[in-house]
Amino acid sequence: MPQAPYDQLHIYEISGDARPGAAGLGPGYLGLWLEGDTSFLFFAQPAEEAMAGLLVRQPGLKLSARHHLTYEQWQGGLALEPLLLPGLAVLPAWSREEPPAGSLVLRLDPGLVFGNGLHPTTRHCLELLLLRAQEGPLGQVLDLGCGTGILGLAARLLGAEAVLLADLNPLCVSTTRRNAEINALDVEVAEGQAQDFLARPAQVVLANVHMEVQERLLADPGLLAGKRDLILSGVMRSQRGRLEDRLRLLGYAIVQRREAEQTWFSLWARQGGR
């Protein structure tokens, strides 16, 4: 299979929000990952001159560190390869591999964002989404903390009538938009806090996010009205009980669970039970 169109990554770690000055950083610039008050700027080659110019334009920024990684190292050592599930094939956008006959095909370019389908939390969410889709129409879907867009785009491919994908990180938003274009899928993509979009009408909510974000999503029962199915992941063993207790208090029953490496937990919860 052809290799990913990324190889060496040169990453500049900046204290502060570098988004205002990140435009025009040259052809080797790949994108910006925002983590709290820290910006990580990615380049395909060393970019000392471009970074010096950025620091002049935004004097409040400070270069904290430089990192040099291979693309595979950045993706946690997971080489990009096809993910084949019953009825759905997730293929790297550049792959020439033929999917199994009869499978829906989602072509994905994760770029610099995590969420290529190979991590167990992503794979388990896709498995649970496929099971939910077998029961009937998905209706309107929210993918909160969308990353590469893999879950929400799969939902649209599976027939969801409308999908909103949202993420706080601008790099995730641009990557999701690119993957929607690759697959010619009509979806809405927005930047912002996951909980800020929970008021939108939906029958299915997808959220593969950290526990603290899960808690914010479940804080206001009124925002969950009409949201019959929740497919949640990203929580660890020590957090699972707290998450399930909160769901029960909100009137949800656990339909199915998934576990990987006795560490990662994913679940499908339904309002009012089965």
Q: Where are the domains of the chain?
A: 8-74, 83-271
Residue 267 three-state SS: strand
pTM of the model: 0.86
One pLDDT digit (tens) per residue for the chain, 274 residues = 345 556 789 999 999 999 888 878 888 888 888 888 999 999 989 999 999 999 999 999 999 999 998 877 776 655 678 889 999 999 988 888 888 888 999 999 888 887 666 788 999 999 999 999 999 999 999 999 999 999 999 999 999 999 999 999 888 999 999 999 999 999 999 999 999 999 999 999 999 999 999 999 999 999 999 999 999 999 988 899 999 999 999 999 999 999 987 788 999 999 986 6
The domain covering 83-271 belongs, at the CATH homologous superfamily level, to: Vaccinia Virus protein VP39 (3.40.50.150)
Q: Which helix (H) or strand (E) is 151 found in, with range?
A: helix 150-157
Alpha carbon distance 115, 57 (integer Å): 33
Structural contact between residues 154 and 126, judged by C-beta atoms closer than 8 angstroms: yes
Place of tokens 């889709």: 133
For residue 259, count CB atoms less than 10 angstroms from its CB and return exposed for 0-12, middle for 13-18, buried for 19 or more. Answer: middle
Q: What is the CATH number that goes with domain 8-74?
A: 3.30.70
244 phi and psi, to 5 degrees? -65, -35
> In 3-state terms, what secondary structure has residue 15?
strand
Cα 37-233-88 angle, rounded to 5 deg = 115
**Cα Dmax for the chain:** 59
Instruction: State how far Cα 81 lies from the chain centre.
Output: 17
120: Cα within 13 Å, side-chain hemisphere:
13
Query: What are the DSSP E strand ranges found in the chain?
Result: 8-15, 29-35, 38-43, 62-70, 83-85, 88-92, 104-108, 140-144, 162-167, 188-191, 204-208, 229-236, 252-260, 264-271
